Amino acid sequence: MLSENMTKALNEQISFEIYSSYIYLQMAAWFDNKSLSGFANWMKVQAQEELAHSMIFYNYVNERGMMVEFDAIPKPKTEYVKPVDVFKSALAHEHIVTERINYLMGLAIEEKDYATKSRLDWFIDEQVEEESSAHEIIDKLELIGDHTQSLFMFDKEMAARIFNTPAPLVGK
């Protein structure tokens, strides 16, 4: 059984992951509107990943015999100037996610809730990857600068991203 405090914190994270999905889907719409369908694809896959993250927490709260409860989802930002700004915003968002996961981990350790700690280990590793991939894309976009042909080539590369079910959801 989870403590009330931990249940509340995990439930907030479920909604935050759905909010993350919403943000990335809005970013996909921005790219689609600019006819950069490869970047839009990357963002759609990211939105799917965030929804999967919410389901990992959803399943966990449920498995521990507690009730899942959602919060309202805020409206995501819609206006950006350049592709690199979108990814800078994505990286800033991932920094917030990392802080939240670290907070949850701290809470699990404080409460000696080792099952929750074990579940959160996956997210700690995942956040390293999330930040690193956003960082890499920002670096590439900064190198590309205003070179349109290179941007279109990178867009093609981004079209190759596919969604893979995260390990904690396989078979669930």
Residues lying near ligand FEO in the complex (CB under 6 A): 17, 20, 50, 53, 94, 97, 130
The two three-digit tokens of residue 22, written as one number: 């919403």
Amino acid sitting at position 32: D
Of residues 54 and 151, the one with the C-beta less far from ligand FEO:
54
